[in-house]
Amino acid sequence: MRTLAIDLGTRRVGLAMSDEGGRFATPMEVLQVSTPENAAAQILAFISGQGVQRLLLGVPINMDDTLGKPARAAIVWGQALAKSTSLPIVFVDERLSSFEAEQTLNQRKRDGEKMTRKAKAKLLDALVAAQLLQAFLDAKLPALQVNE
């Protein structure tokens, strides 16, 4: 099952895609967005012709396991996106995902890869989406149960 993972942000949205077999996640693109509606429109354009069968969206849950305003907004946004695409959506906990992606990029720097701050920022969001997706595909990151 081909899955599109989304790391939703207010200015950038990271996208990652699984292979047809649903085993491997690949960072795809970072979209520059201005509003949630703009993000949805760009994702709809990206989905066209990609063979996406499922959406996966990271939800910024609080460290105390509660759903704050950003988490609730992400869920509502994701449900609206899923409805407009007729694709099923899976929500996952994205806590510490940016930290883990930063660590990956820092390791690449230690390994000698040269990367500007701008290039790092652009890659980070797609890498977050890919890491969320890979963890989900490996069954290490369970789906969140949300009220619809």
Decide yes or no: CATH 3.40.50.620 for domain 3-137: no
Q: Is this model's pTM higher than 0.75 or not?
A: yes
Looking at residue 97, what is its pLDDT?
57
Burial 71-96 (b: 16+ CB within 10 A, else e): bebbbebbeebbeebeeebbbbbbbe
For residues 5 and 116, give the distance between their C-alpha atoms in angstroms, rounded to a whole number.
25
The average confidence (pLDDT) of the chain is 87
Token pair, residue 6, equals 């989304």
pLDDT bucket at 142, cuts 50 / 70 / 90: confident
Which of residues 102 and 64 earns the better pLDDT score?
64
Looking at residue 128, what is its pLDDT?
87
Check pLDDT > 90 for residue 143.
no
Token pair, residue 4, equals 């599109």
Looking at residue 96, what is its pLDDT?
58
- Intra-chain end-to-end CA distance of the chain, in Å: 23
* Paired residues of 148 in beta bridges: none
Neighbours of 3 (CB within 10 A): 21
Model pLDDT for residues 64-80, shown as the tens digit of each residue: 989 999 999 999 999 99
For residues 52 and 142, give the distance between their C-alpha atoms in angstroms, rounded to a whole number.
20
For the chain, domain boundaries: 3-137
